[in-house]
Amino acid sequence: MRTIGVFDSGVGGVSVLKEILKYFPHDNIIYFGDSLHAPYGERSIDEIRKLCLKVSDFLVFNKKVDAVVVACNTATGAAIDIMK
C-alpha cells in the first residue's frame, strides 16, 4: 500500500483528491490544504517556492509519503521544478 500526499494552497485541490481516490482506493491519501498562506497568487515566486518546499518536506519526511501530487496551479508554475 502506498501513501500519496496531495497538496494545494487551499481547498480547490479537493476535486483532484476525488479523482485520486477513484484510481487509488486502497492507498493512504494525505491531503494538505495550506489555507494559512492562501492565496498563493498574491505572493512572490520566491515565497511560493519556500512554502512549497516546506510542505513537500513535511509530507515526505514527516508523513513518509511515496509521492506528492501538487494540485495547485500557482505552486506548480512557481515551484514544481525545485520540488522534484
**pLDDT per residue over 50-62, tens digit each?**
999 999 999 999 9
Per-residue pLDDT of 2-23, as tens digits, reads 999 999 998 889 999 999 999 9
Residue 53 gets the label, from left (phi > 0), alpha (psi -120 to 50) or beta, of alpha
The tally of CA atoms less than 13 A away on the side-chain side of residue 47 is 9
**From 3.40.50.1860, 3.10.150.10, 3.30.360.10, 1.20.1440.120, which CATH number describes the 3-83 domain?**
3.40.50.1860
Residue 37 confidence (pLDDT): 95
State the average pLDDT over residues 53-80: 97
pLDDT value for 12:
87
* pLDDT number for residue 77: 96
The residue extents of the domains of the chain are: 3-83
Comparing CA positions, the residue from 3, 10, 2 lying closest to residue 75 is 10
The mean pLDDT of the chain is 96
